[in-house]
Amino acid sequence: MLALLDHAPTYGYQLRGLMEATLGDPWVVNIGQIYSTLSRLERDGMVIRQPGVKVDVEDRTVYEITGTGKAELGQWFRQPLSRDYRLRDMVYAKLVLSHLSGSVSTEEVLQAQRRQLLNEMHEVTRMRAEAESKSDLPWVLLLESAVMHLEADLRWLEVCEARLEDLDTLPPPQFKGRPRGRPPKKK
Amino acid sequence: MLALLDHAPTYGYQLRGLMEATLGDPWVVNIGQIYSTLSRLERDGMVIRQPGVKVDVEDRTVYEITGTGKAELGQWFRQPLSRDYRLRDMVYAKLVLSHLSGSVSTEEVLQAQRRQLLNEMHEVTRMRAEAESKSDLPWVLLLESAVMHLEADLRWLEVCEARLEDLDTLPPPQFKGRPRGRPPKKK
DNA sequence: CGACACATGTAACACGTTACATGATTTG
DNA sequence: CAAATCATGTAACGTGTTACATGTGTCG
């Protein structure tokens, strides 16, 4: 939102439309969230509102980015994003936990996930072809990213499957609760 | 947490330890969250508490998974996870928005992200080697996944860089606000 | 005794999501 | 007029995160 306001001041309702036009369907948010986020941004000094500004003959509550907001935005742009959230991967958690819980077989979880990924791959490549025919470059790039990560997931599942037996031979993780009290001096 | 309780009933403090032992450091959560989540699970009938159970001579509030909880857990295991959150990729948003806002160059954002990914790749491969030397198979698999996705990100950045000029020639996205009122009958 | 880990919570805050309320304006 | 869209919000809910309060038991 700060980036959009940096491009040009606008009002809430239009911000939502710009967001969709700029970033595509996946970023469509509930309109209410636009306003609540604008309030928070205003609270934090990132934007200021210019009350009662005429836009096309009508009054709109237009917001403008402030110096603080521009600084924050610049920082956001320059600060690279960490990708290590992958370390908290839910599919990984499922596989490991299914092995522990035994209420379903790890194999079953893995197969279900593979089917899902193949479906999504099908869908995404279809969308990419459509985007390419429309020369919608940003959208093509995003779908390209999705394809690459789906491929990575699929290859990873292969690796996991190949080592399922190895996984079965491992002892279940233990966590022995020490008794209460100060731990004995380690050495 | 349901999966861990399905394996064996325990109390909050130990659940946290088990979580770390089973899934690794990235899943370490604040201990307070364990208790509040247990309360919610109890509220929703997923677990029941057995008050005043002796564990190693001492009283612990032990929780046990219920039939409802087991059903929910089974569903969670069988229901594959959607990966299309990738369509809401923040790096993509940054690239597109940097192109729009102009407060930084898209090239700069891209390079910063690439440096970050290379750093993470270095770190993750180091950790993977360490995990392999310890034969910690689950941890190796998780790090393998991280490597694959980092590779995908890096290759994607190459694709983006190759088409940066194409991106510059595109018109900025527009969102023309229609005037108020019922839209004219289309067709 | 005091530090330290075990153990169980509560409170505050942030944020995303959905639903709801309200009003203006224009077309059929 | 009624429906549909533009436009601005508020309220409720869920959940993650952090900080804080409180108490127990043991080792140095």
HEC assignment per residue over chain B: CHHHHHHCCEEHHHHHHHHHHHHCHHHCCCHHHHHHHHHHHHHCCCEEEEEEEEECCEEEEEEEECHHHHHHHHHHHHCCCCCHHHHHCHHHHHHHHHHHHCCCCHHHHHHHHHHHHHHHHHHHHHHHHHHHHCCCHHHHHHHHHHHHHHHHHHHHHHHHHHCHHHHHHCCCCCCCCCCCCCCCCCC
Q: Looking at A8-22, A167-181, B64-78, B97-111, which range is the least confident one?
A: A167-181
- Does any domain span residue A47? yes
Q: What is the CATH number of the domain that holds A52?
A: 1.10.10.10
pLDDT tens column, A134-150: 988 889 999 999 999 99
* A111 vs B contacts (CB less than 8 Å): none
- Return the pLDDT at B52: 66
Average pLDDT value for chain A: 89
pLDDT tens column, A147-170: 999 999 999 999 999 998 888 777
Residues A104 and A148 reside in one and the same domain: yes
Tell me the shortest Cα–Cα distance from A103 to chain B, in angstroms. 7
Residues B68 and B115 reside in one and the same domain: no
- Does any domain span residue A6? yes
d(C-alpha A124, C-alpha A175), whole Å: 43
- Coil, strand, or helix at residue A104? coil
- Does any domain span residue A178? no
Residue A181 has pLDDT above 80, yes or no: no
For a pLDDT cut of 90, what percent of chain A falls above it?
Answer: 68
**Domain termination residue (choose one: A78, A100, A116):** A78
Residue B187 has pLDDT above 60, yes or no: no
Closest-lying nucleotide for B35 based on CA to C1': C9
Strand order in the sheet with A58-65: A10-11, A58-65, A47-55
A100 and chain B: CB distance < 8 Å anywhere?
Answer: yes
- Does any domain span residue A109? yes
| Number of domains within chain A | 2
A31 and chain B: CB distance < 8 Å anywhere?
Answer: no
Residues A16 and A48 reside in one and the same domain: yes
pLDDT tens column, B1-34: 999 999 999 999 999 999 999 998 889 999 999 9
A75 and chain B: CB distance < 8 Å anywhere?
Answer: no
- Does any domain span residue B112? yes
d(C-alpha A71, C-alpha A120), whole Å: 39
Residue A88 is given by DSSP the state: G
Q: How confident is the model at residue A187 (pLDDT cuts 50, 70, 90)?
A: very low
Average pLDDT value for chain B: 89
Q: Do A137 and B103 touch (CB under 8 A)?
A: no
Q: Could you count the other beta carbons within 10 Å of the beta carbon of residue A118?
A: 12
- Mean pLDDT computed over B122-147: 93
Closest residue (CA) to C1' of nucleotide C20 is A32
Closest CA to A117 of B184, B82, B108, B32: B82
- Would you state the structure tokens that stand for residue B68, as one six-digit string? 């409802």
The answer to whether the beta carbons of residues A94 and B75 sit under 8 Å apart is no
Closest residue (CA) to C1' of nucleotide D17 is B30
Q: Looking at A156-160, B25-29, B125-129, B150-154, which range is the least confident one?
A: B25-29
Q: How far is CA A85 from CA A125, B85, B120, in A?
A: 25, 13, 11
> Which stretch of DSSP H or E encloses residue A70?
helix A67-78
Backbone angles phi, psi at A48, to 5 degrees: -125, 150
Q: How confident is the model at residue B85 (pLDDT cuts 50, 70, 90)?
A: confident
Residues B67 and B101 reside in one and the same domain: no
Q: Do A137 and B94 touch (CB under 8 A)?
A: no
Q: Looking at A120-124, B90-94, B182-186, which range is the least confident one?
A: B182-186
Closest residue (CA) to C1' of nucleotide C17 is A30
- Does any domain span residue A179? no
- Coil, strand, or helix at residue A136? coil
Contacts of A80 (CB under 8 A, 6+ apart): B112, B113, B115, B116, B117
Residue A113 has pLDDT above 50, yes or no: yes
- Does any domain span residue A181? no
Tell me which of B186 and B68 has the higher pLDDT.
Answer: B68
Q: Do B175 and A100 touch (CB under 8 A)?
A: no
- Mean pLDDT computed over B108-132: 94
Residues B96 and B131 reside in one and the same domain: yes
Closest CA to A113 of B173, B186, B35, B82: B82
Residues A94 and A164 reside in one and the same domain: yes
Residue A186 has pLDDT above 70, yes or no: no
> Which stretch of DSSP H or E encloses residue A153?
helix A137-162
**Counting one residue from A and one from B, how many pairs have CB atoms under 8 Å apart?**
240
The answer to whether the beta carbons of residues B66 and B46 sit under 8 Å apart is yes
Residues A74 and A97 reside in one and the same domain: no
A124 CA – C21 C1', rounded, Å: 39
CB-nearest to B6 from A79, A103, A152 is: A103
The answer to whether the beta carbons of residues B81 and B22 sit under 8 Å apart is no
Closest-lying nucleotide for B13 based on CA to C1': C7
- Return the pLDDT at A52: 67
Closest residue (CA) to C1' of nucleotide D14 is B40
Residues A130 and A162 reside in one and the same domain: yes
CB-nearest to A170 from B17, B90, B137 is: B137
Residues with CB under 7 A from strand D: A 11-14, 31-32, 35-36, 39, 55-56, 58, 60-61, 179-185; B 29-33, 36-37, 40, 58, 177-183
Residues B116 and B70 reside in one and the same domain: no
- Return the pLDDT at A18: 93
**Domain termination residue (choose one: B57, B78, B99):** B78
- Does any domain span residue A98? yes
pLDDT tens column, B29-51: 999 999 999 999 999 999 999 86
- Return the pLDDT at A112: 94
Residues A71 and A103 reside in one and the same domain: no
- Which B residues, 117 through 146, put their C-beta within 8 Å of a C-beta on chain A? 117, 120, 124, 137-138, 141-146
Residues A34 and A60 reside in one and the same domain: yes
- Return the pLDDT at B186: 58
d(C-alpha B85, C-alpha B93), whole Å: 13
pLDDT tens column, A10-59: 999 999 999 999 998 889 999 999 999 999 999 999 999 986 677 776 78
Residues B12 and B33 reside in one and the same domain: yes
For a pLDDT cut of 70, what percent of chain B falls above it?
Answer: 96
Residue B171 has pLDDT above 80, yes or no: no
The domain containing residue A139 runs over which residues? 90-168
* B6 vs A contacts (CB less than 8 Å): 101-103
d(C-alpha B139, C-alpha A105), whole Å: 20
* A56 vs B contacts (CB less than 8 Å): 177, 179
Residue B172 has pLDDT above 80, yes or no: no
